[in-house]
């Protein structure tokens, strides 16, 4: 029976890379019943809302979405797309794999996955100014919320991910030497969870500043990395940079009520409508979705075809140094399947 998935083509290059991704997944035999829905500027044009209820209702039904990049409308009165999705579906885990694909890059052997806590930490938005004397903005306070339950579920997610994907090690990244309470709770809770996986998955701890250096010096030493919201935000872009930038970086936002798969890059307004965008990141997001559905073998075939096309170097989009259009690149990937 086909699997229902909400498809949000997105704005800018979104529709073109989404249709390329759908073609590739279908050519690989994925049996998916797509439910196309709008969001971003397309949502504003159709419903006056960047994240329309019809789109949220569709994801509530399917619990799965493949999402193209969205333009967030500027101005008051619009709901923030990411906040609405995160809250509605409690998407607590942001998962970003980074894998060396492009030959001749600085690193040829990176294969790691960053699992970022997506709902707590310094990003809860609890902030205020503090008045001192006549100055109403003499100081500012941002409050980081870390809970035992939130820490436990994200670290457990990382370990379960490691088991499911036959990975060997989880590295927990923290700053508990300075932030003894919030980061300390995250670390202590992580250590307890790690004990349950002893003998099956190795566990190590790193302080975030040392981790940033180690990721540049020896990225091949890392496997699955788990960390809190702010550190995850920064390290995830760092690891995208290690493997050649955002053009081939997929991501997933996973929670108890749903999972949303997307490309990390944006709508690329400078090349939108030209037919030259690289669909690679969204295709890799589609592979993550197939794995989430238990279709690991099909995901591997799609990934091999995509990586094979890139490594061969004959049919490449502009961002990868070639002259191929989105359609030509897509055809080349399909020909390899
Ligand atoms: P961007 O990622 O859209 O573009 C940065 C550069 O990378 C551009 O030169 C672009 O042409 C290039 N690029 C990006 N994806 C590409 C692809 N698939 N193929 C070839 N080249 C590609 O970042 P930006 O310009 O900062 O943002 C543009 C818009 O996207 C903004 O409205 C922003 O809010 C939005 N955005 C959305 C998401 C999302 O929905 N997940 C993420 C980031 C940015």
d(CA 67, CA 78) in angstroms, rounded, equals 19
Q: Which residues are catalytic?
A: 123, 175, 209, 233
51 pLDDT exceeds 80? yes
**What is the b/e burial string over 249-281, where b = at least 16 CB atoms within 10 angstroms of the residue's CB?**
bbbbbbbeebbbbbbbbbbbeebbeeebbbbbb
Q: What confidence score (pLDDT) does residue 1 get?
A: 82
* DSSP secondary structure code for residue 174 in this structure: E
Beta strands 169-174 and 64-67, pairing class: unpaired
243 pLDDT exceeds 90? no
d(CA 216, CA 209) in angstroms, rounded, equals 11
Q: What confidence score (pLDDT) does residue 100 get?
A: 87
Q: What confidence score (pLDDT) does residue 336 get?
A: 97
Model confidence at 66, pLDDT cuts 50, 70, 90, reads very high
Q: Ligand 1, closest atom to CA 69?
A: 40
Q: What confidence score (pLDDT) does residue 64 get?
A: 97
Q: What confidence score (pLDDT) does residue 288 get?
A: 96
Ligand 1 pocket test target in 21, 44, 69, 75 with most atoms within 8 Å of CB: 69
75 pLDDT exceeds 80? no
Q: What confidence score (pLDDT) does residue 58 get?
A: 98
The predicted-structure confidence for 83-136, as pLDDT tens digits, reads as follows 788 888 999 999 999 998 877 677 888 999 999 999 999 988 889 999 999 999
d(CA 95, CA 224) in angstroms, rounded, equals 10
245 C-alpha to ligand 1 centroid (Å):
11
Structure tokens at 73: 């409308």
Q: Is 190 in the pocket of ligand 1 (CB under 6 A)?
A: no
246 pLDDT exceeds 80? no
Structure tokens at 214: 């180690």
Question: Stretch 4-13: mean pLDDT, rounded?
Answer: 97
Q: Cα-Cα-Cα-Cα dihedral of 72, 77, 81, 83, to 10°?
A: 130
260 pLDDT exceeds 80? yes
Give me the residues paired with residue 204 across strands: 171
Structure tokens at 136: 């109403």
């Amino acid at each position: 029976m086909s699997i229902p998935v909400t498809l949000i083509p997105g704005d800018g290059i979104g529709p073109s890379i989404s249709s390329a991704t759908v073609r590739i997944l279908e050519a690989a035999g994925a049996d998916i019943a797509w439910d196309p829905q709008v969001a971003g500027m397309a949502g504003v044009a159709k419903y006056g809302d960047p994240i329309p209820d019809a789109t949220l209702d569709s994801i509530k039904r399917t619990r799965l979405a493949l999402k193209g990049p969205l333009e967030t409308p500027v101005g008051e009165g619009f709901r923030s797309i990411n906040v609405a999705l995160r809250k509605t579906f409690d998407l607590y885990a942001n998962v970003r794999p980074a894998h060396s694909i492009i030959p001749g890059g600085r690193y040829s052997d990176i294969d790691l996955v960053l699992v970022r806590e997506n709902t707590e930490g310094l990003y809860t938005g609890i902030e205020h100014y503090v008045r001192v004397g006549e100055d109403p903005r003499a100081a500012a306070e941002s409050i980081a919320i870390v809970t035992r339950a939130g820490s436990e579920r994200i670290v457990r997610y990382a370990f379960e991910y490691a088991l499911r994907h036959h990975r060997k090690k989880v590295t927990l990244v923290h700053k508990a030497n300075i932030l003894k309470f919030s980061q300390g709770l995250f670390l202590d809770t992580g250590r307890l969870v790690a004990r349950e996986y002893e003998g099956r998955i190795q566990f190590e701890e790193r302080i975030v500043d040392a981790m940033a250096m180690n990721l540049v010096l020896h990225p091949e030493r890392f496997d699955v990395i788990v960390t809190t919201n702010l550190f995850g935000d920064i390290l995830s872009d760092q690891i995208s940079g290690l493997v050649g930038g955002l053009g081939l970086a997929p991501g997933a936002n996973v929670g108890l009520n749903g999972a949303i798969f997307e490309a990390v890059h944006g709508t690329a307004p400078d090349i939108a409508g030209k037919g030259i965008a690289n669909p690679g990141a969204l295709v890799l997001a589609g592979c993550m979705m197939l794995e989430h559905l238990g279709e690991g073998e099909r995901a591997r075939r799609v990934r091999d075809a995509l990586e094979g096309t890139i490594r061969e170097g004959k049919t490449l989009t502009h961002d990868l140094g070639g002259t191929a259009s989105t359609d030509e690149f897509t055809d080349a990937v399909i020909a390899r399947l």
